[in-house]
Structures are given as C-alpha cells and as structure tokens.
C-alpha cells in the first residue's frame, strides 16, 4: 500500500508519516511547498502523479480564532482544498481519510459526541471543516472521516 499524507509540516501530518514509516508502510508526506491544495489542477496532477492507494488529509487552516476574520482563506483551504483532494482520489479510485474536528458539533457536552450527533458549528472553523466533510462524501464512496478534539 502506498499512502500520501498532506500537512506534513504540521504536528499531526509529521507524526502520521513517522508512524507509517515505523511500520514500513510506503508513504510520502507533502505540504504547501509541494503543491497548493486550493488549486484543483495542481492538486489532481500531483496526487495522480504519485498515484497513492490512499490519502490521509491532515492539511488544514487550523487558526480557529483568526478564521473569524479570515473566512475566505479558511474556506479555500478547508472546503475547496479538501474537495480538490477528494476529486483527485475519486479520479484515482483511492481511499481518503479526512481529519476533521469536534467543532462541527458546535458546543460542549457532558458526554462524548457520537458520529450520529447533529452538527451545528458555531464558528467559521467548524463550518468550513463540516464543508470539507461534505465535499469528501460528495466525491467518494471509500472514505473515513475522523473528528478530533
């Protein structure tokens, strides 16, 4: 199996690549220096050129507070960029794992959230990560969405 990991220069992407390498799984970590996920043609060309069996999409606009004043860039990365990656995976027939967030639920609770709980994001970051989830589901049948906290 050959895996492409986006967001390699971030903590999660780096750790995912490190873990895959420790298990002798063929993988490649990429970041914005390799290609711009908000550019569909660039994204498709890069991913299809590498031809992974799966993509673990860790890249994201993660500055939650700044996103309120930078909604356009947050949307471009978290929604459009994710859709471009999902589209490339669709063309290849590759699986995709999308790293999302519990911000899609929009509130704190006394119990852990369940995947079936209603989504009601209360900020730009949560709205855009939910938009990314919807983009993945629109393009792919073989996907995983992991909501971290």
User: Cβ(122)–Cβ(130) under 8 Å?
Assistant: no
What's the pLDDT score for residue 116? 87
* Residue in 35, 62, 69 with CA at minimum distance from that of residue 125: 62
Q: Give the end-to-end CA distance of the chain in Å, rounded to a whole number.
A: 28
Is-above-0.85 flag for pTM? yes
User: Cβ(104)–Cβ(126) under 8 Å?
Assistant: yes
Question: Model confidence over 102-133: pLDDT tens digits?
Answer: 999 987 777 888 888 889 898 999 999 999 99
Question: Model confidence over 83-109: pLDDT tens digits?
Answer: 999 999 999 999 999 999 999 998 777
Confidence of residue 48 (pLDDT cuts 50, 70, 90): very high
Please confirm, yes or no, whether 125 is among the known catalytic residues.
yes
Mean pLDDT score of the chain, rounded to an integer?
Answer: 95
What's the pLDDT score for residue 144? 98
What is the topology classification, in CATH, of domain 2-148? Rossmann fold (3.40.50)
What's the pLDDT score for residue 5? 99
User: Cβ(77)–Cβ(124) under 8 Å?
Assistant: no
Q: Where are the domains of the chain?
A: 2-148
User: Cβ(31)–Cβ(77) under 8 Å?
Assistant: no
- DSSP letters, 60-108, are ----HHHHTT-HHHHHIIIIIIHHHHHHHHHHHT-EEEEEEEGGGT-S-
Determine which one of 46, 61, 125, 143 is catalytic: 125
Angle at 131 between CA 70 and CA 53, to 5 degrees: 115
Mean pLDDT of 5-29: 97
């Amino acid at each position: 199996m050959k895996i492409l990991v986006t967001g390699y220069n971030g903590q999660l992407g780096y750790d995912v690549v490190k873990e895959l390498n420790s298990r002798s799984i063929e993988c490649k970590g990429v970041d914005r220096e390799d290609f711009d996920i908000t550019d569909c043609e660039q994204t498709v060309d890069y991913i299809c050129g590498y031809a992974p069996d799966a993509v673990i999409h860790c890249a994201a606009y993660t500055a939650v507070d700044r996103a309120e004043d930078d909604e356009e860039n947050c949307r471009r990365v978290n929604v459009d960029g994710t859709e471009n990656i999902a589209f490339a995976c669709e063309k290849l027939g590759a699986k995709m794992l999308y790293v999302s967030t519990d911000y899609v639920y929009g509130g704190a609770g006394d119990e852990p959230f369940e995947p079936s709980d209603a989504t009601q994001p209360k900020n730009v970051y949560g709205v855009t990560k939910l938009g990314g989830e919807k983009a993945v589901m629109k393009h792919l049948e073989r996907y995983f969405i992991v909501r971290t906290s």
